[in-house]
Amino acid sequence: MLVILLYIFTLFFLHFLIMALNKFQIAQRIAQELKDGYYVNLGIGIPTLVANYIPADINVVLQSENGLLGMGPFPIEGEESADLINAGKQTITTLPGSSIFDSAMSFGMIRSGKINLTVLGAMEVSENGDIANWKIPGKMVKGMGGAMDLVASAKNIIVAMMHTNPAGESKLLKKCTLPLTGTNCVKKIVTDLAVIEITKEGFKLLERAPGIMIEEIIAKTNASLIVDGIIPEMDL
Amino acid sequence: MTKLINNATEAIADIVDGSVLMLGGFGLCGIPENCIDALVKKGVKNLTCISNNAGVDDFGIGLMLKNKQVKKMISSYVGENAEFERQLLSGELEVELIPQGTLATRCMAAGYGMPAIYTPAGVGTEVAEGKEVRNFNGKEYLLELAFEADFAIVKAWKGDKQGNLIYKDTARNFNPLMAMAAKITIAEVEELVEDGELDPNFIHTPGVYVHRIFEGVNYEKRIEQRTVTNKK
């Protein structure tokens, strides 16, 4: 009886000690990838949260692909305008120095490589950098929005997502099973468990979430994972 | 000859069953509310609608979908409309989902008198099926054709009798592109001003592209995601 109690207690305790990242922490880790002078496009969901963690000492301009550079925070209540929204259809503000343009110019700057970094969510990522995030045949058809344009042209693409889907299956795969959004384009993945780089040889583990063991990351990655040397914990 | 007309009913009078329409707006931002209402009232059917989104269930193009007026929708993202998804999955509605930048640029090409563009968006995906792929400097691109539409229906902030238009904030989105891209362009504006009141330096759509213009009424300008903060 005592042993069982002790076991339950230990599990309970470990649960608090070993914690996968929540979505805010994933955003916080991605914000460390930002550099001074970057023009950045943040996708819907976790990527949007990255805006909350931009270091104060660097200048980063956020692009919203409906046609805005210099996106600011949400407006103060009562000052929101139906005419000023981001790509997630949320009411937003402009910052001093911002500019507004039509959607063709918006994708023009994406296609011609002026946007330094794109952060977006995904349903699946494969070891060669393919990404699937727009369609589940027969179930969900929402459309690709600007994702296909972004992944086809962005110089640096970081995916923000949970390591596994709600069913517990790995979202990191040898080959995507869902219809693709783009091929050979993802450079890095930040999940609740790890930071993984996509190299010519496949997934390479760079960092692990605090308290998460390498074995767990390997077990939850449905592809080969290169583990080279000591893997540090993320510095959050 | 005047471009000035009285209202949306007059503006859409010659839109008939089977017409191909472009409708400006991103989400519910910058959509031609007056003309959509008039189209719903008129009840024209079998329309092909080119628009980035399909509205929501009870507003925007969603009203035309609910009324079963749309045969085919050409959009990039339709996630906010449950009725759309239902009609699509049941096969009642034909849909062509295309990347947002491709949608915008196919409008642009039409407005610039170019028959086609090459874009990398969709290479290696099902969007590329049946399309010419061409390699430029080691990278693959898809050939995408300029749109051909009978009518473009756009919404602007201000306009004058010449048809010159200015859009407000991100309500610009696809409006100036579509305004350039169809055989006949209908512009509804929040404020119609006298010629000369708009500074020529700040015109977004030159009047040459606009065939009909009227001042709209009763704009609801619905917000899809009201996100606010309390912080000063």
Digit-coded pLDDT (tens) for B29-62: 999 999 999 999 999 999 999 999 999 999 999 9
What lies within 8 Å, CB to CB, of B112 at 6+ separation is: B180
Question: Which residues from chain A sit within 8 angstroms of residue B79, using beta carbons?
Answer: 142-143
Q: Do A66 and B85 touch (CB under 8 A)?
A: no
Task: Find the range with the poorest average confidence among A10-14, A33-37, B176-180.
Answer: A10-14
Convert the pLDDT of each residue in A75-133 to its tens digit.
999 999 999 999 999 999 999 999 999 999 999 999 999 999 999 999 999 999 999 99
A226 phi-psi bin (left φ>0, alpha ψ -120 to 50, beta other): beta
* pLDDT of A13 higher than 60: no
pLDDT at A1: 59
- Nearest residue, CB atoms, A82 vs list B29, B79, B173: B29
Put simply, the answer to whether A102 touches B52 (Cβ < 8 Å) is no
Mean pLDDT of A200-224: 97
Pairing mode of beta strands B149-160, B182-193: parallel
pLDDT at B151: 98
Distance from CA of B191 to the nearest CA of A (A): 15
- Point out the residue among A66, A77, A180 whose CB comes nearest to the CB of B173: A66
In order of A15, A19, A20, A197, A227, the CA distances from A7 in angstroms are 12, 18, 21, 37, 31
Residues in B touching A81 (Cβ below 8 Å): 169
Contact B172 A67 (CB under 8 A): yes
Nearest CB neighbour to B120, from listed A73, A78, A152: A152
Q: How would you write the pLDDT of chain B (232 residues) with one tens digit per residue? A: 899 999 999 999 999 999 999 999 999 999 999 999 999 999 999 999 999 999 999 999 999 999 999 999 999 998 778 888 788 888 899 999 999 999 999 999 999 999 999 999 999 999 999 999 999 999 999 999 999 999 999 999 999 999 999 999 999 999 999 999 999 999 999 999 999 999 999 999 999 999 999 999 999 999 999 999 986 5
Helices (H) and strands (E) in chain A, counts: 6, 15
Contact B225 A91 (CB under 8 A): yes
ipTM beyond cut 0.90: yes
Q: What is the largest CA-CA distance in chain A?
A: 69
Interchain contact, B228 vs A144, CB within 8 Å: no
Cα B25 to the chain's mean position, in Å?
A: 6
In this complex, do A85 and B27 lie within 8 Å of one another by their Cβ atoms?
A: yes
Residue in B73, B100, B232 to test binding to A, most A beta-carbons within 10 Å: B100
- Going by their DSSP bridges, the two strands B133-136 and B139-145 should be labelled as antiparallel
The domains of chain B, with CATH numbers, are: 8-104+147-215 (3.40.1080.10)
Please tell me the predicted confidence (pLDDT) of residue A4. 64
B77 to A82: CB separation less than 8 angstroms, yes or no: no
pTM of the model: 0.93
Which residues of B are less than 8 Å from A93 in CB distance?
Answer: none
Active site residues of A: 65
Strands of chain B (E only): list them: 20-23, 47-50, 70-75, 94-97, 116-119, 133-136, 139-145, 149-160, 165-166, 182-193, 212-215
Of the candidates A89, A138, A179, the beta carbon closest to that of B225 is on A89
Q: Mean pLDDT, to the nearest integer, of A36-65?
A: 95
Q: How many CB atoms lie within 10 A of CB A65?
A: 26
pLDDT of residue A12: 55
Q: Show Cβ contacts of residue B190 under 8 Å, excluding neighbours closer than 6 positions.
A: B156, B157, B158, B168, B215, B216, B219
What residues does B4 pair with on adjacent strands? B213
The CATH class, in words, for A2-226 is alpha beta
- C-alpha span between A120 and A115 (Å, rounded): 14
Interface with chain A: mutation pick from B97, B170, B173, B209, highest number of A CBs within 10 Å: B170
Amino acid identity, position A69: L
Q: What mean pLDDT comes out for the span A65-84?
A: 96
Pairing of strands B212-215, B94-97: unpaired
CB pairs under 8 A between A and B: 185
